[in-house]
């Protein structure tokens, strides 16, 4: 096998084909496999050279979904829970039930600081209203 920048020559010079253009992130060397003829990006089948139909893409995404933790509904629920935890932390400091350091970092979208007893009362009323009936 003889390597050039864009060609791969094998079988004693009888077979010449395009070379995969993918590069290793670790060694920065070019892939040594032949590119697929139908590949628009000149890649081998390991580096994404095979075109996929829309049906195949749906099957691939379903096969690679391990859990539902990254769905939009789950991310929205995570954000709402995070807002509630930050507001409960504010309530603990307001009632002087905690004295350690507060959580650092950016607050989640939708967070409103609890700084007085009126805010605390509104938080409790909202939580009671959102609670499903048994």
Q: What pLDDT was estimated at residue 102?
A: 85
Q: Could you read off the pLDDT of 59-76 as tens digits, one per residue?
A: 887 787 676 666 777 788
pLDDT at 93: 92
Of the chain, the percentage scoring pLDDT greater than 70 comes to 88
Residue extents of the structural domains in the chain: 2-63, 72-130
pLDDT tens digit sequence for 93-131: 999 998 888 888 888 889 999 999 999 999 889 888 877
User: Mean pLDDT lowest for which of 14-23, 45-54, 106-115?
Assistant: 45-54
Q: Are 86 and 108 in contact (CB under 8 A)?
A: yes
Q: Say how far apart CA 112 and CA 92 lie, in whole Å.
A: 15
Residue 87 has pLDDT above 90, yes or no: yes
């Amino acid at each position: 096998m003889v390597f050039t920048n864009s060609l791969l020559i094998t079988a004693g010079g009888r077979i010449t084909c395009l070379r995969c253009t993918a590069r290793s992130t670790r060694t920065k060397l070019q892939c040594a496999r032949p590119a697929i003829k139908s590949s628009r990006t000149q890649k081998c089948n390991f580096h994404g050279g095979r075109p996929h139909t829309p049906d195949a893409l749906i099957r691939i995404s379903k096969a690679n979904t391990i859990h539902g933790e990254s769905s939009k509904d789950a991310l929205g629920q995570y954000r709402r829970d995070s807002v509630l935890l930050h507001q409960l932390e504010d309530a603990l400091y307001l009632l002087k039930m905690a004295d350690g350091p507060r959580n650092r970092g950016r607050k989640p979208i939708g967070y409103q600081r609890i700084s007085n007893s009126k805010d605390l009362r509104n938080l409790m009323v909202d939580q009671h209203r959102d609670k499903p009936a048994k």
